[in-house]
Amino acid sequence: MDKAISSVLKVTFTLVLIVTILYYGKGILAPLAIACILSMLFVSPSGWIEKKGLPRWSSALIAVGILVICIVGLGFLLSWQLQNFAEQITSLKQNLSQILSNLQHWIQDRLDIDQGKQQAIAEEQMKGQRTDGAGVQQLVSGFFGLLVDFILVLVYTYLILFYRSRLKNFLLKITPSKDQEKTMEIVDSASQVAANYMTGLAKMIVVLWILYGVGFTAIGVENALFFAVICGLLELVPFIGNLTGTAITILGVTAQGGETNMILGVVLIYGFVQFVQTYLLEPLIVGNEVNINPLFTIFSLVAAEAVWGIPGMILAIPITGMIRIICDRIPRLQPYGYLIGSEKKAKKSFWKRKK
C-alpha cells in the first residue's frame, strides 16, 4: 500500500514539475517545440535531397526556404484581401451602426432599459480601460514578439535538421545498449506520426480553402476568399477552430449587410463542408495517425491552451499522439497509453460505407 501511494506521489510530483516548467518556460520552449514538429516534416525530403549529392546545410536551408515562401505567400494573400476590407470600411461602419441601433431597441423593448442607461453602462465599462496609448504600445510589442518567435522557429528548424544525426547519437549515448534499438524505433515512429499528421492536415486545409471559397462565392459573400482562408487555417485547432471560423464569417456577412438567406447559406455550407471533412477528407488524407480518444483530445486542447495559449492548442494533438506512441512501447507506461488511445478502427470514408 505504501509503495502504491509512493508511486502515485512520484507521478503527481513529476506532472506538476513538468507543467510548471512548461508554463514558465513558454517563451523558450514553445518556439523550440514548433520547430521540432516542423523539422519532422522535412526529415524525409532532406534525406532525399542529400542522397542527390547536396550537403546537409543546403538541404536544411531549402527546407527553411520552403517554410518562408509558404508563410509569406499566405500573409500576402491575407493582406491583399484585407485591402478590400479597407475599401469597404465606410459601408461596414454604417452597417455596424445600424445593427447596434437595432440591438439597443431590442434591449429597450425586451429588458426595459432605455438607450440612455445602456450608454451609461457602456461608458462605465470603458472607464477601466486605458486610453493613454498603452493599447497601441502593447500591439506593437506583441507584433515584435511574434516576429522574434517566427525567426527563432526558423533558426531552430534549420539547426535541428542540420544536427539531427548528432541529436540521434545523443539519444543512443544516454540509452543502455540493450534498449537502443527500441529507442530508435520509438523516435522514428513518433516523428513519422507527427509528420504524417501535419502533412495530412496541410493537405486538408488546402481542400477546405477550395470548398469554402467556392461555397462562399456561390452565395455572394464579399471577400469570400478571405473568409475561406480564415476558416481553413482555424482547422489547425480541432473542434474549436471550425466553429470559430464560421462565427467570424457570419459576423463578417452581417457587418456587410448580408440578409438572412446569406447567413443561412453560410451555415449550410459549414454543415456540408463538415460532412465532407469527416467522411471523406479525414479518412483519405489525414487518416488515423494519432489515434487519441475524444476525452483526451479535448483535455489536451484545454490543458495546452492553459499552458501555452494558441501555440499549445496547435501542437496539442501531434504531441499527445507522440506521447501515446512512447507509452505504448514502454511496458510500465502502457496503461497510460491505453488510457490516452482509442480502440476504434480507422474511420471509413463515406464511399467505403456505401460499398
pLDDT in tens, 154-204: 999 999 999 998 998 898 888 888 888 888 888 888 888 888 888 888 888
Taking only the tens place, the pLDDT of each residue in 44-98 is: 888 888 888 889 999 999 999 999 998 888 888 777 767 766 666 666 666 666 6
- Top-confidence residue, 15 or 212: 212
- Top-confidence residue, 134 or 168: 168
| pLDDT exceeds cutoff 90 at 339 | no
- Top-confidence residue, 331 or 351: 331
Cα(196)–Cα(95) distance, integer angstroms: 45
Q: Please check whether residue 297 is in contact with residue 238, taking contact to mean a CB–CB distance below 8 angstroms.
A: yes
Cell for 327? Answer: 507509452
- Top-confidence residue, 304 or 345: 304
- Top-confidence residue, 206 or 260: 206
Place of cell 486545409: 205
Taking only the tens place, the pLDDT of each residue in 31-46 is: 999 999 889 888 888 8
Beta strands in the chain (DSSP E): none
pLDDT of residue 355: 47
pLDDT of residue 258: 65
Q: Map out the domains of the chain as residue ranges.
A: 1-78+145-174, 182-355
Taking only the tens place, the pLDDT of each residue in 136-151 is: 676 677 778 788 888 9
Which of the four pLDDT bands, split at 50, 70 and 90, describes residue 299? Answer: confident
Which of the four pLDDT bands, split at 50, 70 and 90, describes residue 281? Answer: confident
- Cα Rg of the chain (Å, integer): 25
Listed range (81-85, 163-167, 306-310, 325-329) with the worst mean pLDDT: 81-85
| pLDDT exceeds cutoff 90 at 340 | no
Average pLDDT of span 248-271: 81
pLDDT of residue 344: 54
pLDDT of residue 91: 62
Q: Please check whether residue 183 is in contact with residue 172, taking contact to mean a CB–CB distance below 8 angstroms.
A: yes
pLDDT of residue 349: 45
Cα(184)–Cα(193) distance, integer angstroms: 14
Cα(18)–Cα(8) distance, integer angstroms: 15
Of 326, 322, 155, 297, nearest in space to 237 by CA: 297
The segment with the largest mean pLDDT, out of 45-54, 194-203, 293-302, 329-338, is 45-54
What one-character-per-residue DSSP string does 2-21 give? Answer: HHHHHHHHHHHHHHHHHHHH
- Top-confidence residue, 234 or 239: 234
| pLDDT exceeds cutoff 80 at 101 | no
Burial class, 93, CB count within 10 angstroms (exposed 0-12 / middle 13-18 / buried 19+): exposed
Q: Buried b vs exposed e over 341-351: b needs ≥16 C-beta within 10 Å?
A: bbeeeeeebee
| pLDDT exceeds cutoff 80 at 291 | no
Beta strands in 70-223 (DSSP E): none
Q: Say which residues have a Cβ less than 8 Å from residue 213's Cβ, sequence separation at least 6.
A: 224, 225, 228
| pLDDT exceeds cutoff 70 at 112 | no
Q: Say which residues have a Cβ less than 8 Å from residue 334's Cβ, sequence separation at least 6.
A: 327, 328
Please tell me the pTM assigned to this model. 0.75
pLDDT of residue 350: 44
Average pLDDT of span 287-296: 71
